[in-house]
Amino acid sequence: MTDLIKRKMPLPEGARDMVILHHEIEASFPYTKSKEKITSTLIEYGNPVEKFTAIAKTVGAPAAIATKLLLNGELSLRGCHIPTHPEVYPKVLEELKTLGIKFVEKKEEIN
C-alpha cells in the first residue's frame, strides 16, 4: 500500500502534508439539565526539510512511544489492545505533547 501511495500521490519537492483530527461531542447531563459541546482539534504539519510527513509523525510517534513504554516496563498489558485503553492513551498523549503533537480542546455550554 505504501509503495502504491508513493507512486500515485507523491508530495512535490519542498511540499508538506497536513493532518487534521477534529472531534465534536455534545454531552447532556440529566441531573443538572445542562448540555455542553466539546471540540477537540489536532493540526500537524509535515516538515519538508527533515523529510518527515505529518502522517509519519502522527502514526509513527504513538507506536514508538507505546513500544518504549512496554520495553521500559511502564505498561502491564500483554497481547493486543486498542490504543484507547486507559493504561495506554494517557501516557502516550502526555509524551506526544512533549513532541508538540497535541489536541486543543474547547468547551461551551449549550442552551
23 vs 48, more confident: 23
pLDDT given at position 80: 87
Q: How far apart are CA 92 and CA 59, in angstroms?
A: 12
Side-chain half-sphere of 52: how many Cα atoms within 13 Å? 11
Break the chain into its structural domains and give their ranges: 2-110
pLDDT of 2 above 80: no
Helix (H) or strand (E) holding 42: strand 34-45
pLDDT of residue 84: 87
Q: What letter would DSSP give residue 47?
A: B
Residue 28 confidence class, pLDDT cut points 50, 70, 90: very high
pTM confidence score:
0.76
Cell of 11: 508530495
